[in-house]
């Protein structure tokens, strides 16, 4: 299937995503410059991690106004699968494709470490290769991953099973101590109400190869491939 | 011409860890009367516009769409009418 990986000025995980998809999973990958206005024929789009526009003003605030984002919004509205990783998640929030906003980590530090993350909803196109309750080791690397939203939106996220990933302990229990950045309700990743847009702070592309000693992230990309193929049948 | 001064701060009730760290530092320096510190952004925008009502309408739109994220931030602004430059 055809994947578009958007490249913003300051993206730095675009090549990692392309490598995992093309070299690891045999996918057809196009790197798409943020200044382009069309995605072309794509089955899925990835907004990669990085520091688009130097995180000026707010993370993702300037990138969401890039010309290509209009095409990404139309693609999402038409039901196309959109995955935002780390800075990509922040851009999706600023673009209004996902609800809420990011605050600076509660400890004020840039956190670069492996954390435990639990799959809360395995019934999405992004998680169908996981099982609900599955606990994984995912790397995070961010300074603004402290997810925030208003109580009404949080209740809706919970009621609609839109919280897909949460920070947890190794045994899967969700505690304040297991929350690396102060994120509301230990949220590590959410999807939109329609279910075709996912944003997460952890980096699945950094744990998708056996040579790295961790392939937990590969199942996310394979889930998306499976979902697209199933949709085409 | 109108000069606008825009202040963007975290909404009250949202934890401001940076403000808290600064407050603690001020206390360390002996400023024991500091009750609360909130950190925000300050922007100055020069508008090629002489009508305060028009300027305010534009500023509000700028704040709502880009300068502030109203999920977490609030904003306020002051306008200052600048004397027009004499023709050269």
Q: Give CA–CA dist B7/B10, Å, rounded.
A: 10
The torsion of the CA quartet A34, A38, A43, A45, rounded to 10 degrees, works out to: 20
pLDDT of residue A233: 60
B17 touches A at CB < 8 Å = yes
Of how many residues is chain A composed? 233
* Phi, psi for A88 (deg, rounded to 5): -65, -40
Q: Which of A103, A216, A149, A40 is nearest to B16 (CA)?
A: A103
pLDDT at A12 exceeding the cut of 80? yes
Q: For domain A2-232, which CATH number applies: 3.40.718.10, 3.40.50.300, 3.40.50.880, 3.30.2350.10?
A: 3.40.50.880
Beta strands per DSSP E along chain A: 2-7, 28-33, 44-47, 81-85, 101-103, 111-119, 135-142, 146-148, 163-168, 187-191, 197-200
Q: What is the ipTM of this complex?
A: 0.85
Return the residue in A57, A94, A111, A181 with the most chain B beta carbons within 10 A, the one to mutate for interface testing.
A57
Q: For domain B2-81, which CATH number applies: 3.30.420.40, 3.40.47.10, 3.40.50.300, 3.30.1280.10?
A: 3.30.1280.10
pLDDT of residue B17: 86
For A106-152, write each residue's pLDDT tens digit: 988 999 999 999 999 999 999 999 999 999 999 999 999 999 999 99
Q: Determine whether B83 is exposed, middle or buried from the number of CB atoms within 10 Å of its CB (0-12, 13-18, 19+).
A: exposed
Return the residue in B9, B72, B73, B74 with the most chain A beta carbons within 10 A, the one to mutate for interface testing.
B72
Between B50 and B88, residue with greater pLDDT? B50
Number of other CB atoms surrounding residue B53 within 10 Å = 9
Start-to-end C-alpha separation, chain A: 13
Q: Is the CB of residue A125 less than 8 Å from the CB of residue A195?
A: yes
Q: Residue ranges of the domains in chain A?
A: 2-232
Q: Between β-strands A187-191 and A163-168, what pairing exists: parallel, antiparallel or unpaired?
A: antiparallel
Q: Determine whether B36 is exposed, middle or buried from the number of CB atoms within 10 Å of its CB (0-12, 13-18, 19+).
A: exposed
Q: Residue ranges of the domains in chain B?
A: 2-81
A68: CB partners within 8 A, 6+ apart: A6, A32, A33, A34, A35, A36, A37, A39
Q: Under an 8 A CB cutoff, do B18 and A182 touch?
A: no
DSSP state letters, A97-126 = SSS-EEE--TT-S-EEEEEEEEES---STT
Which residues does chain A have within 8 Å of residue B15's beta carbon, measured at their own beta carbons? 103, 106, 182
pLDDT of residue A160: 97
B10 touches A at CB < 8 Å = yes
For A186-207, write each residue's pLDDT tens digit: 999 999 999 999 999 999 999 9
In this predicted structure, which of A69-78, A79-88, A204-213 has the lowest mean pLDDT? A204-213
């Amino acid at each position: 299937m055809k994947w578009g990986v958007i490249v913003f000025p300051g993206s730095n995980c675009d090549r990692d995503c392309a490598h995992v998809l093309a070299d690891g999973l045999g996918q057809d990958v196009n790197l798409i410059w943020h200044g382009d206005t069309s995605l072309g024929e794509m089955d899925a789009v990835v907004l990669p991690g990085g520091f688009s526009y130097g995180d000026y003003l707010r993370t993702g605030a300037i990138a969401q106004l890039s010309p290509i984002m209009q095409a990404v919004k139309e693609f999402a509205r038409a039901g196309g699968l959109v995955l935002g990783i780390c800075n990509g998640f922040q851009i999706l929030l600023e673009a209004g494709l996902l609800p809420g906003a990011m605050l600076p980590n509660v400890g004020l530090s840039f956190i670069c470490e492996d954390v435990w993350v639990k799959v809360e909803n395995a019934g999405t196109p992004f998680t169908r290769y996981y099982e609900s309750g599955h606990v994984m080791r995912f790397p995070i690397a961010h300074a603004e991953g402290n997810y925030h939203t208003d109580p009404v939106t949080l209740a809706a996220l919970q009621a609609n099973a839109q919280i897909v990933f949460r920070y947890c302990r190794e045994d899967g229990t969700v505690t304040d101590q297991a929350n690396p950045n102060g994120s509301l309700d230990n949220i590590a990743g959410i999807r939109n109400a329609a279910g075709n847009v996912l944003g997460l702070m952890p980096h699945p592309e950094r744990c998708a190869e056996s040579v790295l000693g961790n392939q937990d992230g590969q199942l996310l990309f394979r889930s998306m491939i499976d979902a697209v193929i199933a949709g085409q049948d | 011409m109108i000069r606008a001064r825009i202040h963007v701060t975290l909404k009250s009730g949202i934890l401001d860890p940076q403000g808290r760290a600064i407050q603690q530092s001020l206390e360390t320096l002996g400023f024991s009367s500091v009750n609360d510190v909130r950190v925000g952004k300050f922007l100055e925008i020069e508008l090629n516009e002489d009508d305060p009502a028009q300027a305010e309408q534009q500023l509000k739109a700028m704040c709502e769409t880009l300068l502030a994220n109203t999920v977490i931030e609030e904003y306020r602004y002051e306008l200052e009418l600048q004397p027009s430059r004499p023709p050269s």
